[in-house]
A and B are shown apart, each in its own frame.
Chain A
């Protein structure tokens, strides 16, 4: 026997309208809400928003570590905007992010889908590879040797196959591409995609097969739509993370050659090293604004799940009964 569950939104709304909350119940609900939200808010306030706000204020001063601090208005912003290397660093960050998203974000989606078609043993090995707790510093140093133009593994393979000697990281045209490649092999959100795909009931695919759907049709109509909320969330994380890339270019090329791999965060670091704290915070704020802008556009333009009901406001959430 099967039981059909049908959600009648109109009936629920009508019922909610008839149950008007009293003042005391509303205040009780608010108190409960703040008890739950409080710790998270406090942590965010101390470790997230306070430093952010302090950085914002610092960027309008000369930000000396000791002694008098002087209000300098928009001087640091002016200095950063007039610095040609800032534009270069933003350009590098954006190219790096795009390359990284195309190569290490999109490719694993299809790898995960294909892996679902593979024997479970193969799938498990790939999951293990993605899940290995590798030290990014250690891995970066290892890749430095892999790319070495004189005695690196890739150079041996290239020349062994009859190609000319390759410049790899030594070429400003290629450096970002080669910096992104290790992420394709070692990191990326493949594991999360696989986990999402595993949560899709096999009955969906079975039903589709009965209806005559082929491999690509199943991907298009079942796998990708089911993965959509996760893909969009991971895309946002990828945008945020890649625009703040620091570790790999710092360890592998130190921003070279010719500044071709110096990201915005690396430039912040360089400026910090010159004790220019105000300029560094101003540049960080500019980067923050760029990231917020991109994330804002993404949030506005893309609905994570087209099947989800419209979002409720916080006021609606607080005043409606039965949610807590």
Chain B
């Protein structure tokens, strides 16, 4: 199959990867010139038309798999003897291999968690058959879609249909899958896990002891500051702040990401930046966070700790801090770890969900984000684009088994071994993507981790998701400017002790980003972009009208009418 990527501007001489390498091989040689040869292609069949029925028996296929996941080869006897979880995994996988004797697994020495290593392996034809799609897209939706558009994953649209993947997913997971993982109606992977992403972890017991109200949906960053100050006592800090949650406070909760970026019909890049439009509100939001660190001294924040998720988790479970903002996975894992949440609850002599609570991320001071803008996250796997049809079918089949019947049998075996439901409903496996797994596993999230935590997870998962431009605007195949300038402004605000000139920084930020953008050209025709952008802003208006009416009325609509609508025409 050959995926043709639309080009935005006039025809240019085309060179294939092979011809490029040939040309460069001669380069003592720089002037050898670039010659157009044949199109690069993979050996997948054209997926157009009706999906083929699945074969009753998988054909001969040898799949390269990485020890680092998502599915390693069957562990040897010694490894199984050393670790009971290896034995459970081996039994589960072997059951599938016994049913599909024509499929063989071979270990591939590639670090599937390293984007550079993975991208190089995919381009060089040495990638494992199955790998984490989020890794090759740098864990953001835009990056993932661009990676797919650059042919770094096999097209799985037919297999997704043949296995009825969408029909078997939970409602929340399905919504994320359909919105974030499709590219022009095609799929390039399969869902793996679902998560409610980052939440605020806090000491429920301490809040009760102080007689304070429990934080709840709809609270703001100002409320979080007040709570951190109240909990900042007895040698314990109120909160430890990582870089990305603070960035979230500005970019997402305060709306800078949306309100600072405007359509730019003059091109060649269809976005321009003007962060100064909301300078006053942004300065207030920045001052709120800096106040926690430099005035109240209730927050730990150090550039060396940066975005390390483990430091705050350890500090929280050791009782050194009362709050941290982290992935929900940081709570629901390691039931037997000495510095895990169970150990903290044991030391307090209370049930776990009476000691640790979770609550959605706070809304911005200006009311943006509505009750919250927690982001539901779907982790997915992709498949080596060089796989033949039989190998791709085998790899997809293996993935589906390990995440449905295989996950159920592993969960049952884990429960039999540990007699602890937390070992079944832990980490990324705490929220199965497929309904049949939730029904098949013993117990439930609530039985494992407590009613209060399960209720909070359910509440956050149901939150309205803020529309993303990627849901409406065709995927750019030309990369655009990076976020470094934006991140620079934020790290300066969060870590520099000297008082910042936020308005000046915002102007400088806009200027840098516009200078960068001027050298990029969009691959999407303006008309398509404008149509998608109009839909996106309409959806945003609806979202905020429903979830943050004041913000919608006072800030968003005036901004939309003055700066966006005229540009979109």
Contacts and interface: CB of A to CB of B under 8 A. Distances in A.
Given A85-B512, A172-B492, A262 B484 contact: yes
Interface string A253-270: 111111100100001001
Contact of A258 (B237, B300, B307, B492): B492
Most buried by B among A67, A149, A270, A275: A67
A83 B302 contact: no
A83 B515 contact: yes
Contact of A66 (B12, B14, B150, B518): B150
A50 interface: yes
Nearest to B123: A65
Interface stretch (A54-62, A108-116, A129-137): A54-62
A2 B314 CA distance: 74
B5 interface: yes
A67 B496 contact: no
B28 interface: yes
A255 B511 CA distance: 20
A64 B150 contact: yes
Interface stretch (A140-148, A214-222, A229-237): A140-148
A71 B304 contact: no
Contacts of B30: 53, 56-57
Interface string B373-388: 0000000000001000
Interface residues of B, number: 65
A49 B26 CA distance: 11
A257 B492 contact: yes
Interface string A227-252: 00000000000000000000000001
B563 interface: no
Interface in B387-440: none
Interface string B140-153: 00010011001110
Interface string B254-268: 000000000000000
Contacts of B24: 53-54, 57-58
B53 to A, nearest CB: 30
Nearest to A149: B302
Nearest to A254: B306
Nearest to B147: A275
B3 interface: yes
A233 to B, nearest CB: 28
Contacts of A56: 27, 30
Nearest to B20: A69
Interface string B467-506: 0000000000011001011011101101111100000000
Contact of A70 (B12, B304, B485): B12
A68 interface: yes
A273 interface: yes
A304 interface: no
B13 A71 contact: yes
Contacts of B485: 84-85, 259
B224 to A, nearest CB: 19
A68 B5 contact: yes
B29 to A, nearest CB: 6
A62 B498 CA distance: 42
Contacts of B497: 167, 170-171
Given A53-B28, A68-B40, A256 B495 contact: yes
Interface stretch (B114-122, B225-233, B551-559): B114-122
Contacts of B302: 148-150, 169-170
Interface in A128-183: 144-145, 147-150, 167, 169-172, 175
Nearest to A54: B24
A83 to B, nearest CB: 5
A274 interface: yes
A26 interface: no
B304 A148 contact: yes
Contacts of A274: 138, 143, 479, 482
Interface residues of A, number: 55
A182 to B, nearest CB: 13
Contacts of A147: 304
Given A83-B515, A270-B484, A271-B482, A170 B119 contact: no
A169 B496 CA distance: 9
Given A72-B12, A82-B515, A170 B303 contact: yes
B491 A257 contact: yes
A69 B123 CA distance: 13
A206 interface: no
B23 interface: yes
A276 interface: yes
A278 B17 CA distance: 14
Contact of B479 (A82, A258, A262, A275): A275
A78 interface: yes
Nearest to B40: A67
A169 B495 CA distance: 9
Nearest to A52: B27
A61 B143 contact: no
Interface in B1-36: 3, 5, 7, 12-17, 20-21, 23-25, 27-30, 34
Contact of B304 (A69, A79, A144): A144
Contacts of B498: 171
23 contacts: A54-B24, A56-B27, A66-B40, A67-B151, A69-B14, A78-B519, A82-B515, A84-B511, A84-B516, A85-B485, A149-B302, A167-B497, A169-B303, A170-B495, A172-B496, A254-B307, A256-B303, A256-B492, A257-B494, A258-B488, A259-B484, A274-B143, A275-B146
Given A69-B20, A275-B143, 19 more contacts: A50-B27, A66-B123, A66-B151, A68-B40, A70-B7, A70-B14, A71-B15, A75-B519, A82-B518, A85-B484, A148-B304, A167-B496, A172-B492, A253-B304, A257-B494, A258-B491, A270-B484, A275-B119, A276-B482
Interface of A: 49-50, 53-54, 56-58, 60-62, 64-72, 75, 78-79, 82-85, 144-145, 147-150, 167, 169-172, 175, 252-259, 262, 267, 270-276
4 shortest A-B CB distances, which residue pairs? Answer: A258-B492, A256-B491, A79-B519, A144-B304
Interface of B: 3, 5, 7, 12-17, 20-21, 23-25, 27-30, 34, 39-40, 115-116, 119, 122-123, 138, 143, 146-147, 150-152, 237, 243, 300, 302-307, 385, 478-479, 482, 484-485, 487-489, 491-492, 494-498, 511-512, 515-516, 518-520
